[in-house]
Amino acid sequence: MTQAILREIIDYANRANPYPLYEELRKTPVSHDGDGPYVVSTYYEIQSLLHDPRISSDAKNLKATGDDPLGQGQGEEEGATLPPSFLKLDPPDHDRLRRMTNRPFGPPHAPHRVHDMREELGGLVSGLIDGIATTGNLDRVDLVDQFAYPFPVSVICRLLGVPHEDEPRFHVWAETLAASLDPDPDADPAQQGKGAMDARMELGMYLAGLIEERRKNPGDDMLSQLATADGPDGSMTTMEVLSTSALLLIAGHETTVNLITNGMLTLLRHPDVLQRLREDPALSVPIVEELLRYEPPVQLLPQRSTLTEIEVAGVTIPKGASLWLILASGNRDPKRFENPDRFDPDRKDIQHLGLGSGIHSCFGAPLARLEAQLALSELARRLENPRLLEDPPPYRQNAVLRGPRHLTISCDGVRP
């Protein structure tokens, strides 16, 4: 049996504004009925479960998958042929793979990687905004297709070291895979599934070829470093490199698209903040933090399970149960944040759940933050008098990775 409230969360009719639903949900911090998942919606409970070693991210620990209403949209990031990425593993495997992936990406071994991409990212942002200017039709600009979508894919290509001339092919695969995460109710699911499978196969083969090549001629891109890693943790198998890069590809850009799009939408709805950002690009830092709280690109984590019977907020959850942690709801919990429904970039105390917490906290966070900061401040600076043409905009189907499918605006011009 599917819980009524879950049905509502998934119901596309609530996509544009799920927050009243979450408010309702918070009245019962842990809600459950029938054999569906246990849904946790309040800040402190979610926060503590994210640090709870009795909770697993490995689907093998689910007793019965139950009636997972999001089932078809989940787990699509990897193909049946790829081993699970570290997102879906527990320690020690999770720790080992994440550590190895982090070596070429962040501190302590690569403290400059993200910082050093700043200029390159700035160049990509300028190029895309120039593109908006030259297409001419400023009466109708889709910020998703023309900006928020292509930007993160290019970034991932650069990061992984996908050769420039292959980027267009990469874009097509990425888009097909992303579309499969975003089931179109009107499309033929079989057809769509097959398209995604083909894309994944092709992408996998392409990456495998690239890995082989990088093993012979390593560069300083991440793929080379993952493929040739030989540190204290040994090296990754080819399959592990594949599943890790597929994870970086999908998780790394699906979320950023939404962060940027939700961000622009929010700013267009708060013109005073948009104006402040235009005058002071440094404000993009607190704005992005507040956005991660106010409109998190990952709304909920639907794939945790209990290793043992546990008690949460007075509810006994049995062993092997499926847990859904509604991050977006916790982020608006009035017990944690004053005036939670207010978008307030001046908020001081903002330890949101937007990027998760604990060992699975967002791996790409530093990059995602930087991308969003650069994107929003440049859009604010260069678009003259931007106006939303449709509010709310059409949303994508996906309730987990929630964001507008299109964000159509018009503007008076594009500043140089």
Partner 1 sequence: MSGDGSLEHLKREGRIVVVGASLAGLRAAETMREKGFTGSLTMIGDEPYEPYDRPPLSKQVLLGKATADRTALPRRRDIDAKWRLGVPASGLDMAARRVRLADGDEVEYDRLLIATGVRARPWPNEAEGALDGVFVLRTRDDGARLERALAAGPRRVLVIGAGFTGSEIASACRERDLPVTVAERGAAPLVGALGGVIGEVAAQMHQEHGVDLRTGVMVTGLEGDPSGRVRAAHLSDGATVEADVVVVSLGAQRNTEWLAGSGLGAGPRGIACDAGCRAFNIWGIVTDDIYVAGDVARSPHALFGYQFLSLEHWGNAVAQAETAAHNMLSEGMDRRPHVWIPAFWSSQFGVNIKSVGVPPMGTEIQVTQGSLAERRFAAVYGYQGRMIAAVTFDNCRWLPFYEHQIETTAPFPPPFSTVDRRPEGHKPMPADFPDPSVPTHGPTITLSGYSPADRTMTFTPARH
Residue 335 CB, nearest approach to partner 1 (Å) = 17
Nearest distance from residue 357's CB to partner 1, in Å?
8
Q: How far is 316 from 311, CA to CA, in rounded Å?
A: 4
Q: Closer to partner 1 at the Cβ: 51 or 115? A: 51
Contacts with partner 1, 93-132, as mask; x by CB under 8 A: --x-------------------------------------
Question: How many residues of this chain interact with partner 1, rule: CB under 8 A?
Answer: 18
Site string for partner 1, 33-52 (x = CB under 8 A): ---------------x--xx
Cβ 327 to partner 1 shortest distance, Å: 17
d(CA 174, CA 252): 11
Contact between 75 and partner 1 (CB under 8 A)?
A: no
Output the smallest distance, CB 55 to partner 1, in A: 8
Residue 56 binds partner 1, judged by CB under 8 A: yes
End-to-end CA, the chain = 56
Give the integer Cα–Cα distance in Å for 111 and 97. Answer: 18
Q: Which of 207, 191, 168 is nearest to 78 (CA)?
A: 207
- Side-chain half-sphere of 125: how many Cα atoms within 13 Å? 22
Q: Which residue lies nearer to partner 1 by CB, 204 or 364?
A: 364
Q: Which is nearer to partner 1, 307 or 365 (CB)?
A: 307
For residue 286, the tally of other CB atoms under 10 A from its CB is: 16
Binding string to partner 1 for residues 285 to 324, with x set by CB under 8 A, is what? ----------------------xxxx--------------
Query: Cα separation of 380 and 268, whole Å?
Result: 10
Report the nearest approach of partner 1 to the CB of residue 56 (Å).
Answer: 6
Contact between 258 and 317 under an 8 Å Cβ cutoff? The reply is no
> In the complex, what is the shortest distance from the CB of residue 96 to partner 1, in angstroms, rounded to a whole number?
10
Read off the tokens for 75. 């787990």
On the question of a cis peptide bond just before residue 392, with omega within 30 degrees of 0, the verdict is yes
What is the C-alpha separation between 24 and 5, in angstroms, rounded? 9
Report d(CA 183, CA 397) in Å as an integer: 6
Q: Which residues lie near partner 1 (CB under 8 A)?
A: 48, 51-56, 90-92, 95, 307-310, 358-359, 361
